[in-house]
Amino acid sequence: MKYLGPIDELEAAFIEHHDDLITVQPKTRSWFRNVLERTLILQTPVIRPLFERRPEEYETINTNAQTIWQNDNRVEGLSGTIVALVGLGMLLGPLWVLEAFNASSGHVRLGVITGFITLFFVLVAVATTARIFDALAAAAAYSAVLMVFLTNSPTPTSGV
């Protein structure tokens, strides 16, 4: 049997299109990414064009001029940058806070570490796509680092 080509040339042209209405292979998005997309940050007129893209045949598709196509790579990059900055703050913040409470009792410093560990766990659980067990493992490693800092910091001396 001889191949004569596609049934309809217009239908065959869609093979070359890269902008689908339905994602063939959906990506897992974190809770933080979903919140970021719904906030006013990405919808402000000044910032929105930085995170938009124009699909092929934009003029044909965008008849009502209200549809927005987000550039997933840019939004994911912004989400990753925010998570990285908060993560860096979670690593450096306790060091400075513990140093400020260095003359305090061990209970105060332990309370600071407990607070940072709890905050770290919550942030990992909601800001990333990590499973709950992975978030617990990350929090355990984080707590080990903070506890080492606590045990190596000088304890307040008694008045003896």
pLDDT of res. 118: 92
pLDDT of res. 25: 61
Q: Which of 79, 146, 98 is nearest to 118 (CA)?
A: 146
pLDDT of res. 64: 61
To the question of pTM greater than 0.75 for the whole model, the response is no
pLDDT of res. 67: 63
pLDDT of res. 53: 73
Long-range contacts of the stretch 17-21 (C-beta < 8 A, 24+):
17/56, 18/56, 19/55, 19/56, 19/69
What is the mean pLDDT for each group of 10 consecutive residues in the chain (160 residues)? 68 66 67 79 76 64 62 82 87 83 76 89 87 91 82 55
